Amino acid sequence: MSKSAIATNFNFPKQKSFYKGKVRDVYNIDDKLLVMVVSDRISAYDYVLPVGIPYKGQVLNQIAAKFLDATADIVPNWKIATPDPMVTIGHVCETYPVEMIVRGYLTGSSWRSYKKGSRSICGVAIPDGMKEHQKFESPILTPTTKAEQGEHDEDISREEIISSGLVTEEEYVQLEKYSLELFQRGTEIAADKGLILVDTKYEFGKKDGKIYLIDEIHTPDSSRYFYTDGYEERQANGQNQKQLSKEFVREWLSEQGFQGLDGQEMPEMSEEFVRQVSERYIELYESIIGEKFVKADSENVSERVEKNIISFLEVK
């Protein structure tokens, strides 16, 4: 099996800080540039799994880069360059403390809450009589707080965000507008490739008084996709939808008795399962981008990444 890159430990010139997220390693260069290395770590239920997924970081980084370019006319974004298949370098922005989740279908956590009787998500009313994976009349916004490392994101309503001062009303209205427009663009691009963009999350920041789209966009870690072909038939027959996302990893963990709850033991991931997960990520790349995935050299990954970053920073 090809090697996976699960951690970095670089020290770049003018480096101010280092942040290790669930999946991304982020280096602050002189408070001017952010160097984001997308590792092969994978998280589920807010836990980082113990085994890396080969090529996952490359898949996520390259999908995000392409979608950032494809949506730059809607909202400015943080990306400056991608000097390595696993790296994006961009602007330092002051991050808004909320994540904007857009849902087009009643799926995943929203369905689990609905099945338990909830008819409201983040203050948004959901009608009775809906089925799992059913399309909403129009996409809904269900924001969450942006959790610190090790903590869980929490649902929060539009009213709570504004009244608590997390985001001003004027800025929040703009974030809503951008989020829905981005989701519409992503929906159109997905439809062109025979896919349905089911739900996704967006993160925003601010630089020089202007709102920027930051982090990733429309990747399988932040989004869920169904195949258009067979969707209606599966719905009519009450079958599960064929989907491209990491939900199947959550489902596998749940089947093994792990849902991130206290006292539960993380199951062992076999080489075969890891290979299957890697193949699913590559499948999504090829489906949504419409191009053959070209695997980067997996020998001495950290050395390659560091060299490419330093070469870019020296030119800058």
**Taking a C-beta distance cutoff of 8 angstroms, is the pair 147, 154 a contact?**
yes
Map out the domains of the chain with their CATH numbers.
95-244 (3.30.470.20)
Q: Six-digit token pair at 133?
A: 């994976």
* C-alpha torsion sign, points 93, 98, 99, 102: negative
247: burial class by Cβ within 10 Å (0-12, 13-18, 19+)? Answer: middle
Name 147's Cβ contacts closer than 8 Å, sequence gap at least 6: 46, 153, 154
102 closest CA partner among 190, 180, 156: 180
Name 54's Cβ contacts closer than 8 Å, sequence gap at least 6: 1, 2, 3, 4, 40, 274, 278, 298
Q: Six-digit token pair at 271?
A: 């080489």
Give the pLDDT of residue 147: 62
Q: Six-digit token pair at 272?
A: 């075969």
Q: Six-digit token pair at 191?
A: 């439809």
pLDDT one digit per residue (tens) for the chain, 316 residues = 457 788 899 999 999 999 998 899 999 999 999 999 999 999 888 888 989 999 999 999 999 999 999 999 999 999 999 999 999 999 999 999 999 999 999 998 899 999 999 999 999 999 999 999 999 999 999 999 976 554 557 889 999 999 999 999 999 999 999 999 999 999 999 999 999 999 999 999 999 999 999 999 999 888 999 999 999 999 999 999 988 878 788 889 999 999 888 889 889 999 999 999 999 889 889 999 999 999 998 888 889 999 999 999 998 7
3-state secondary structure of 299: coil
251 closest CA partner among 10, 113, 44: 44
CB atoms within 10 A of CB 38: 29
Give the pLDDT of residue 151: 53
Residue given tokens 């206290």 in the structure block: 262
Give the pLDDT of residue 150: 46
Taking the C-alpha atoms of residue 130 and residue 44, their distance in angstroms, rounded to an integer, is 26
